[in-house]
Structure 1
């Protein structure tokens, strides 16, 4: 089915909340919206490569049995290829598991179904979510809709590329050290990471060494979509439950004391574009009546934190590989892992139990240091990432592992402190470079201050509406043949 003019307008002009409202009022049938999304994906997937699995028939069946009354009832979406959902394979971005179907489901996947979302497929990710670019050997590179020779970031690059391109209005994503926030910055989207423990459980084994750093959420065009998604996936009985959407939107934040810093965890300055973005965000926050104060930002032994992070990440990978070998038997082939993954597993085999325990202690201490740096401020402001989107092929999984670790340190130097501290954090698309590429600014607040951060996000969105830039890019994308 081809798209009509009305279909395109629905996809490019409305966020998920707006689409759901049209369905509730009967102004559009869910099937019409679904077919428009299918047509858009079919047109753009060959160019953007944001999906690893696409099953329109499964989506049509799901739409027929969707949950009535959910906040996103009838709205099409994608789920990152790290989260299992019934009816779709979960390959973890890996050649070894490509097309595998996992039994069961998680409370998080169930919450998405209760919200009424219709899953059209799975979005691409780097293998096991390891890299800050989405170029898995299993499916090839995902391309940034703003410029197709550039990365969409990672590991939620497929989700960000799909939403930025207008394939779906909102998409599931996940974040350990910046895997929601980095792609959101590179693709001109709003990217929020919730506080530790705020949402229901996803597919993260509780004994995974880095489990405390990980969170599931979404990438979105609008703040209200992100807030509604968070409310729909919030853990029941949470000690600080989110207010409803209207209360978040209509109650501006109080006058905030915002600490702004420029150097990352390693003491490095970002690119001139990132500094310009930060200066623009500082002026905007000041114009909105907030007190913006220069600060040094989180500080710790950054090289030690990096070693600890990669030690624990590698330990988790080695444990996963052992489990897969036991379950798959002769079908298990470690050679199907990407070179970077194999190298991390090799490093884990060489690490002692004492080194792994010390790594856990080092990350805990770094989290405490980050929390100390936030004391005295309501919000901390920094770049999200130190540069605009980079060329594909520069940091792919076949590059030297030590170079990839160094790249990850640079890329996550602003985002990882919030993960260590358990803070909510968000990348807000407030700046575009002279080359026309988006660059987000990073805001964090204390643990469980998600509502405060979202109120600030609504205020920033109203003052610096980024939707027209995104819509103009999507209009152009529909007309291009590259």
Structure 2
């Protein structure tokens, strides 16, 4: 008996979901598929999976189809016609800019940025926006505006945050690659929990994504993507990096050859507070160490970055609160009587309340603390080509335990725990990546964290290609796709 047209369409959609963005782009470049076919297939997957995962803050499928019909693929585009999603912290013309907040939900973006212009030039077609914690503040994605985003590997667990929607969308196969951003681990943490390759570029590596450079926390934040393959991530960075850099990213074929020398890799097991990790995270680290040694690299035990964890944590939360306080004032002035502070989440409001009690000197003290942390971290990494550690200290945690209505002090403590390995690279401006090299006995992914000195993005990518070649993780997603395909069938 012949399959129905719907069944054939679902089969085609699922077949495309197994391809990374580079492979999908190749179908368009060679005339085997049109941008509209790629977009329609992604829309079908989203419509089937989104009710179970809740990864999207908004969509505009008709706008995406219109863009696909009008697309003119060019030979210099890395992703011609490839469907993608943008984190709801990045303003993009024609789509809402909700910032994970009830106050802004559904409000149109005022415009784009140099960053979104670069994504357009790369040929990507935006289907919608992914969920994020309000203003990217929490390490879980379960907001009062959109509810909980569920981890595709286990719907009872968190995706992490703040790029949780992006990670869930890519891990589930809705799209092959999605925009994400990271100010302390918001790309790398969700990548660890969802089994993705999550890269954070060096500070100032990419074109401006709309943040004022004078904003005190802007220097901590990097925009990039989450992906299933290393080559998609490298191509995304090549498309969005500044053209005035002294060293732009080499061609992907050059990166794929792997490091051109035997790397000196320093490995450490305790976070900046001196705390250890779960058995699963320890097993993941052992796997990474063995793999790096088998690839011919020298792995040396070290103490890790020597930073004042208490001082840098206080600086991070003070700066965040100060920026939010200023934002509240701007919004109130712009909205007048329509401004309703109760539409912000309790955790957000509490950070602002605490910031408004700080002395005037607090901002200078906080910036000084981050500067000291950067200098200390750079001293540590100067003895190594790469630093290796766990990405996060445990596997994905249950939903409903770390949301924005929980006790603020407990949320701050949990954020410190969650970002205890990733935050140093943000303070220091290093490139860093979470690589999915291990799955727990329960079938949950656990990432391993690699960082290099500022500007050494190419070195990390060359190592990532080598790791991916030696221990490919893509087959894991085929098994996940099979389980997800049964949801509606």
Q: TM-score range by the shorter chain?
A: over 0.9
Q: How high is the TM-score relative to the length of structure 2?
A: 0.97
Q: Is 1:44 aligned to residue 73 of structure 2? A: no
State whether residues 281 and 441 of structure 1, in contact with CA within 8 Å, keep that contact through their aligned partners in structure 2.
Answer: yes
In structure 2, list runs of 5 or more residues that go unmatched: none
Which of 312, 315, 329 aligns to 1:322? It is 329
Equivalence for 1:59: 64
Separation (CA, whole Å) in 2 of partners of 1:107 and 1:276 = 41
Q: Name whichever of 160-169 and 198-207 sits farther off.
A: 198-207
Equivalence for 1:263: 270
Separation (CA, whole Å) in 2 of partners of 1:481 and 1:71 = 33
Deviations 1:268-312 (A, max 9, x none): 001111011001100000000000000000112211111111000
Which of 208, 216, 225 aligns to 2:215? It is 208
Separation (CA, whole Å) in 1 of partners of 2:176 and 2:240 = 18
State whether residues 86 and 166 of structure 2, in contact with CA within 8 Å, keep that contact through their aligned partners in structure 1.
Answer: yes
Equivalence for 1:5: 11
Shift of 1:66: 3.1
Deviations 1:57-96 (A, max 9, x none): 0101122233532210100000000001111000000001
Partner SS, residue 18 of structure 1: helix
Separation (CA, whole Å) in 2 of partners of 1:104 and 1:39 = 28
State whether residues 173 and 217 of structure 1, in contact with CA within 8 Å, keep that contact through their aligned partners in structure 2.
Answer: yes
State whether residues 253 and 456 of structure 1, in contact with CA within 8 Å, keep that contact through their aligned partners in structure 2.
Answer: no
Q: How high is the TM-score relative to the length of structure 1?
A: 0.98
Q: Is 1:22 aligned to residue 23 of structure 2? A: no
Deviations 1:37-67 (A, max 9, x none): 0000000000000001011101011222335
Equivalence for 2:236: 229
State whether residues 29 and 73 of structure 2, in contact with CA within 8 Å, keep that contact through their aligned partners in structure 1.
Answer: no
Q: Name whichever of 252-261 and 427-436 sits farther off.
A: 252-261
Equivalence for 1:141: 148
Equivalence for 1:291: 298
Partner SS, residue 462 of structure 1: helix
Shift of 1:481: 5.0
Equivalence for 1:275: 282
In structure 1, list runs of 5 or more residues that go unmatched: none
Partner SS, residue 381 of structure 1: strand
Deviations 1:128-159 (A, max 9, x none): 00000000110000000000000001000000
Separation (CA, whole Å) in 2 of partners of 1:142 and 1:326 = 32
State whether residues 434 and 450 of structure 2, in contact with CA within 8 Å, keep that contact through their aligned partners in structure 1.
Answer: yes
Q: Name whichever of 47-56 and 25-34 sits farther off.
A: 25-34
Shift of 1:104: 2.2
Partner SS, residue 345 of structure 1: helix
CA RMSD of aligned residues (A): 1.1
